[in-house]
Amino acid sequence: MAGALALALCACVDKADLPRPMVQADPAAGLAVIEDVGCAACHKIPGVAWPEGRSGSNLAGFGARPLIAGRLPNQPDVLIRWLIDAPSMDPGTAMPPMPLTQDQARDVAAYLYTIDED
Amino acid sequence: MSSETGFDPELYKRFPTTEPRPEGELEQLEEVWCGPRRPWEWITAINNNYIGVYYVGAAMLFFVLAGVLALLMRTQLALPMTGFLAQETYNQIFTMHGTVMMFLFAVPAVEALGVLLLPQMLGARDLPFPRLSAYAFWAYLVGGLCFFASLFFGLAPNGGWYMYPPLTSMAYSPGINADFWLLGIGFIEISAIAGAIEIIVGVLKTRAPGMTLDKLPIFAWAMLIFACMIIIAFPSIILSTLLLELERALGWPFFDAAKGGDPMLWQHLFWFFGHPEVYIIFLPAAGAMSTLIPAVAQTKLVGYRLVVLAMLATGFISFGVWAHHMFTTGMPQISINYFSAASMAVSVPAGVQVFAWIATLAAGKMRFNTPGLFAVGGLVIFVMGGLTGVMVAMVPFDWQAHDSYFIVAHLHYVLIGGMVFPLFAAIYYWTPMSSSRPLSERWGKWIFWLMFVGHNVTFMPMHLTGLMGMPRRVYTYLPERGWDLPNMISTIGSFMFGLAVLLWVVDMIRNFRPFGNKDAGNVFGGPGLEWLPSGRYSLRSVPVIKSLYPVWDQPDLARDVEAGRYFLPGAPRGERETIVTSPLNAEPQYLLRMPRPSSWYVWAAIFTAGFFLILTIQAYLASVISGVLALYCILKWCWRLDRPHPQATVDIGGGVRVPTYVSGPSSHGWWAMVITLIVAGMVALMAGFSYIFLWSRRPDLWQAPPELSSLLLVIALMAAAGLLAWLSVKALALDRPRSGMIAAVLMLLASLAILGGWGVDFTAWWGTGLRPDVNSQGATVFGLLAWQGMFAGICGLMGLFALARWSFGLLSPQRPSTYQLIALFIGFSAAQGVYAAVLTYLFPGG
Amino acid sequence: MLDPAGPFAGPIQTVAWVLFVMAAVVMVVVLVALGVALFGPRKWKRRVGGERLIWIAGLAFPVVVLTGLLIYGLTTTARVADAPKAGEMRVRVTGEMWWWRVAYLDDQGREIVQDANEVHIPAGQPVVFELESADVIHSFWVPRLGGKTDMIPGRRNFMRLQADAPGTYGGQCAEYCGGPHALMGLVVVAHAPDDYAAWLERQSRPAAAVPSAQGPLALIDQGRNVFAASGCAACHTIRGTEANGLAGPDLTHVGSRQTLGAGILPNNQGTMAGWISDSQSLKPGNRMPSYAVLAGQDVRAVAAYLESLK
């Protein structure tokens, strides 16, 4: 992980690493969870027509981003943890812990990784 | 046949005449009725052949514009929660779509059709008040375009076309958007009423001799009923717009519940206008259907009398159904039941007309030309709209359907089937009358099918979206409610409809060639007078009518009319003129001199529109200047009225001589004034209703009236005014050397008495401490006083006008019309003053 | 209305079916007559092409059908709009731009408890809704439970609704009320009668923060402080605290509601945080300003605090 972090900080992530396929996860289920929970109240998320929240970051092209929230490496396990309890990883974040199970978070992460640059 | 006016019907037997017509007569007629020669004259033209075409064209322009707005809305609603249009933009657009379609398209379009067709159908050279038509048209066009342009500045109204307060009150609509609606509708009301007066007098007084009421073309019947309905219904919207503007500008609480007003007052006033409005739009279109279906089927209309009765019944019943827009407002059960019954009843006369059309098609042989297709397509769509109309007349069903997309579907079925399709049928049918080329039949069929399918694809699914719970007037909707698919289908359909209209516009550009000296002729084999060969002067000579279908039933009619063998075969005095006939039997009464083009009424229209629009943007000085200029132009125009001719009588053909000047109840001016006063009286009546309605809401807020002595003084002064005006007319009729001066002075005194009575009334109420902005009593009492004050002001102006005409020697016992009309107006103002004073003093009393 | 869930909606659906059948029959009659008129054999056409058709099909037929319908309509017009009788449960719903103030009333019409955007009722019994407006005209409509009734300033309208079974029934404002009228939704939640009593009892208590894994006590405390310091109390009431603003929805038990923003968003800490920071992008034109100035952690704290108010 330290290596990945270093790589990310260098901002020289190899595109070949992307997207990050995830085992035992269902992007379609992830999209349904996103809509049920209302992630889009803060984030503009490709594939979700509404809402288009602006208080969180725009998630267009998320799959190709090197970092989560501008500081954490964009890796599946990091992302899943972040979705469930962001404040534990960054106390200053506005993103509250979300009411997701581990499996749901995995599905959501899978969906987010399907979001390419375009 | 008994005579109505003393005219001997035997005289009709002299026609067609046999002696040859004098040399140069036709050339003179053409010269007198010549078209525009210089560019400016295209604007000052007043012949209905020009104004009518302009008018229809402008109405269709607004149809296209409002249609574009509809497509924008459908694009926004194609998918849930899209951002194509911002919320505020959408709200402005749906408000403008409704407003423009109802006020700038539908009413003007049918009125325009009347202006264009009626003189042709009735055998008149023009309608009796061509300047009024021109004024109404230009005020409408200039005002309408400026009003529409408010959309481009984000200043368009956004409170819905029905403008319910308190959403549209100052508190919740502080911008000038709502004022744009209120004042914008103001001049549209004026032009609609001007048109209605024109049409009533035109239909009743300028028919071809012998065209008794039972030979009146069905379209003319429809237009007559239409115009009468405008006269009864529009005063209500005039009043409601005035009240809301007073509340917005000056804080007079008519609708503000906190001060004793009631938002429901607006709904009653608005729908008392708004529902008849639907039939106002429908009847002329139905009249056009009843006129062109016989041509399509090449047989006479089955059940002419039944259809006329049905239209009359529609007119009557439509004034008793307004509250069916208010079933969900918590009205008492008993009223709900009544309005439910009346709303169902109004569908019966519609059924009569529909089956009359079907019976006519069965009696003849349908020819599947474009007007025929539009007629039949419109019939089918209209019946479906009528059936959903019966459904929503059922109160429990309406509780669910009301304000949902079901209603959107219903009203578009009714209005598109009942008005738009018939209008297109009419346009296709009558274009050959105005244009040197007919529209393309091949394109026409494509356009019809696209429009018919597009309409159903658009609006059929809306029944379902409504029942699924989608409310109206939403700029977007949340996903996952099952509304996505029907909305997408509706949007696709709307673009089909749009494509049809686009094709029609292209075909109009390709083929519509009006104003020529030659028209395409009777392409569809129609039976009416409008299909006789004609020029800018309309018919060469005005035939004696013996049938409802003269072109079919009176052989050689075209030849004899062309040869000038009937009435008024030329321009005997070198003037534009038409025959005025009696209202029932159409017996010739006198020869009416018509105006030639001038620019005063155009300027008057521009300044009238300017007055209202500049008032909206609160540039008060500029607005007043525009208003004064409008008044000046109108006075200049009035100055030219009431000119007698040195020849007292004139030969209108076949040795029949009629007078060239008439005053009193036979004259067209008298009729117009009486109708105007009915409009004013309706406003006063509705104001009285508002007064009692608001009292019944909050009697606890109301105070005692002033001393009864001031009431007596008001009554005395008003009675004196009426008496003086009457004496003035009598004095003039005495025809003594000083008659003119005495009459003028008496008239001035009469107008001063009106002003005085108003002043007494006003001071008395002011003295009680009542103020207009404090509670609903103050608002309504001073509202009535303001209305009466306007009349007092006009009376004063008229008194001065009378004096001025006398001093310029324009007044003589031989030309008493102006005086009689001023006296009528003063008499009415006096009666209205008494009515308002008695109502406010004695009810509810102290 | 296609899926009625109570005795005030069911009969309307029956009426609707009767009407649809009537409409279909009449439409067929018209189309058959039209078909004969246009394409029929001469003999048939002659029978249709006279005044007799107008008298029979245009006049007699509609009069009979309409009279029947009218009688049926008047008898089925359910008496839903009377003033409340003794013993009936009463709820006052006040339309506000663009949300719903809900007050539960006792027998005398006194307010027991206030809530917003969510109406809880016991299933299986009629409930009288007293409908008022605080500003412009709104219209209260829960399609599966019954018709709609307008909320008019200066007036009070009554409507009875009943849900036969426990469940959640969506509704929406049906009278255009300006701006985000399209996003003025509400939820009616029907409980089994016992559950309802328990719910009402819970709801009547003053606010009590319930800490959880997602909202630890420290964060809740921080949220309470931020709520107080940021002026939220100017508009919102939280019973049991100093917050007593009246302009916006009561937040005493906001954490227990199903939706946010008047029926438009799911309710959890995430959507709450999004609503607080930028409600204007979620429901443009609504009366609550976007609190984008709050620091990230503060937003999260307020969201945690509000969500803890179960």
Residues in chain A within 8 Å Cβ distance of C303: 96
Subunits next to A (3 or more Cβ pairs <8 Å) are: B, C
Nearest CA in chain A to C307: A96
Nearest CA in chain A to B82: A49
Nearest to C282 among A53, A87, A95 (CB): A53
Q: % helix / strand / coil in chain B, to the nearest 5?
A: 70, 5, 30
Distance CA B826, CA B792 (A): 9
**Residue C106 burial (10 A CB sphere; 0-12, 13-18, 19+):** exposed
pLDDT of residue A22 exceeding 80: no
> What are the helix (H) ranges across B128-217?
130-149, 177-205
Pairs of residues, one from chain A and one from chain C, whose beta carbons lie less than 8 Å apart: 82
In Å, what is the CA distance from C145 to each residue of A66, B331, B482, C161?
Answer: 51, 21, 18, 6
Nearest CA in chain C to A40: C271
B80 touches chain A (CB under 8 A): yes
B334 touches chain A (CB under 8 A): no
**Parallel, antiparallel, or unpaired for β C89-96 and C127-133?**
parallel
Q: Which residues pair with C100 in a beta bridge?
A: C95
Tell me whether residues A53 and C281 touch, CB distance under 8 A. Answer: yes
Tell me whether residues C271 and A93 touch, CB distance under 8 A. Answer: no
Q: Which residues of chain B have pLDDT under 70?
A: 1-2, 644, 846
C265 touches chain A (CB under 8 A): yes
Tell me whether residues C273 and A54 touch, CB distance under 8 A. Answer: no
C303 touches chain A (CB under 8 A): yes
Distance CA B418, CA B421 (A): 7
Distance CA B129, CA B132 (A): 5
The helix (run of H) or strand (run of E) holding residue C44 is: helix C42-48
Nearest to B166 among C26, C48, C135 (CB): C135
Which DSSP string corresponds to B413-479? HHHIIIIIHHHHHHHHHHHHHHSSSPPPHHHHHHHHHHHHHHHHHHHHHHHHHHHTTPBSS-S---S
C259 touches chain A (CB under 8 A): no
Could you tell me which of B303, B311, B306 has the C-alpha nearest to residue B285? B311
Size of chain A, expressed as the number of residues it contains: 118
Residue B403 to chain A, least CA–CA distance (Å):
25
Could you tell me which of B124, B13, B133, B15 has the C-alpha nearest to residue B580? B124
pLDDT confidence of residue C3 = 86
The helix (run of H) or strand (run of E) holding residue A19 is: none
CA end-to-end span of chain A, whole Å? 28
Residue numbers of B between 259 and 278 with CB closer than 8 Å to C: 261-264
Could you tell me which of B7, B74, B764, B64 has the C-alpha nearest to residue B488? B74
**Parallel, antiparallel, or unpaired for β C99-105 and C89-96?**
antiparallel
Tokens encoding A7: 């790589």
Distance CA C211, CA C175 (A): 40
Tell me whether residues C270 and A54 touch, CB distance under 8 A. Answer: no
Nearest to B79 among A35, A49, A51 (CB): A49
**Parallel, antiparallel, or unpaired for β B588-594 and B649-651?**
unpaired
Residue type, B397: F
Nearest CA in chain A to B476: A50
Residues in chain B within 8 Å Cβ distance of C58: 306, 351-356
Phi–psi pair at B237, nearest 5 degrees: -75, -30
Would the ipTM clear 0.90, i.e. be above it? yes
Query: Which residue has tokens 């399907």?
Result: A114
Distance CA B476, CA B86 (A): 10
Instruction: Kindly give the confidence (pLDDT) of every residue in chain C, 310 residues in length, as a single tens digit, with 9 standing for 90 and above.
Output: 678 999 888 888 888 999 999 999 999 999 999 999 999 999 999 888 888 999 998 899 999 999 998 888 887 765 556 677 878 899 999 999 999 999 999 988 899 999 999 999 999 999 999 999 999 999 999 999 999 999 999 999 999 999 999 999 999 999 999 999 999 999 999 999 999 999 999 999 999 888 888 888 999 999 999 999 999 999 999 999 999 999 999 999 999 999 999 999 999 999 999 999 999 999 999 999 999 889 889 999 999 999 999 8
Tell me whether residues C33 and B358 touch, CB distance under 8 A. Answer: yes
Residues in chain C within 8 Å Cβ distance of A98: 268-270
Phi–psi pair at C102, nearest 5 degrees: -120, 130
Residue A42 to chain C, least CA–CA distance (Å):
5
**Confidence class for position A16, pLDDT limits 50, 70, 90:** very low
B88 touches chain C (CB under 8 A): yes
Sign of CA dihedral B185, B190, B193, B195: negative
Nearest CA in chain C to A90: C297
Distance CA B192, CA B667 (A): 22
Nearest CA in chain A to C295: A94
Contact at 8 Å (CB) between B208 and B124?
A: yes
Nearest to A41 among C282, C292, C297 (CB): C282
> What are the helix (H) ranges across B78-106?
87-99
Select the residue from C212, C222, C275 to test the A interface by mutation, using most A Cβ atoms within 10 A.
C275
Query: What is the model's pTM?
Result: 0.94
DSSP 8-state assignment for residue A73: E
Query: Which residue has tokens 């995995």?
Result: A106
Tell me whether residues B80 and A51 touch, CB distance under 8 A. Answer: no
Nearest to C136 among B172, B352, B472 (CB): B172
pLDDT confidence of residue B335 = 86
The residues, any chain, with a CB within 8 Å of residue B309's CB and separated by 6 or more, are B349, B352
B306 touches chain C (CB under 8 A): yes
Nearest to A39 among C270, C277, C296 (CB): C270
Pairs of residues, one from chain A and one from chain B, whose beta carbons lie less than 8 Å apart: 12
Nearest CA in chain B to C18: B391
Distance CA A112, CA B552 (A): 78
pLDDT confidence of residue B368 = 93
CA end-to-end span of chain B, whole Å? 59
Residue A52 to chain B, least CA–CA distance (Å):
9
Contact at 8 Å (CB) between B198 and B132?
A: yes
Residue numbers of C between 166 and 195 with CB closer than 8 Å to A: none
C297 touches chain A (CB under 8 A): yes
Distance CA B24, CA B30 (A): 10
pLDDT confidence of residue C151 = 96
Contact at 8 Å (CB) between B692 and B742?
A: no
Select the residue from C300, C305, C306, C310 to test the A interface by mutation, using most A Cβ atoms within 10 A.
C300
**Confidence class for position A3, pLDDT limits 50, 70, 90:** very low
Subunits next to B (3 or more Cβ pairs <8 Å) are: A, C
Residues in chain B within 8 Å Cβ distance of A50: 80-81, 478-479
Nearest to C149 among B257, B328, B467 (CB): B328
Query: Which residue has tokens 């959408």?
Result: B90
Tokens encoding B652: 């209108």
Distance CA C189, CA A112 (A): 34
Q: Which residues pair with B579 in a beta bridge?
A: B591
Tell me whether residues A52 and B83 touch, CB distance under 8 A. Answer: yes
DSSP 8-state assignment for residue B563: T
Tell me whether residues A96 and C282 touch, CB distance under 8 A. Answer: no
Q: Hey, is C120 helix, strand or coil?
A: strand
pLDDT confidence of residue B501 = 97
Tell me whether residues C297 and A87 touch, CB distance under 8 A. Answer: yes
B381 touches chain C (CB under 8 A): no
Tens digit of each residue's pLDDT (9 = 90 or more) over B310-320: 999 999 999 99
Distance CA B122, CA B130 (A): 15
Residues in chain A within 8 Å Cβ distance of B487: none
pLDDT confidence of residue B694 = 95
Residues in chain A within 8 Å Cβ distance of B480: 35
Nearest CA in chain C to A51: C282
Q: E-strand spans in A8-105?
A: 67-68, 72-73
Distance CA B379, CA B397 (A): 25
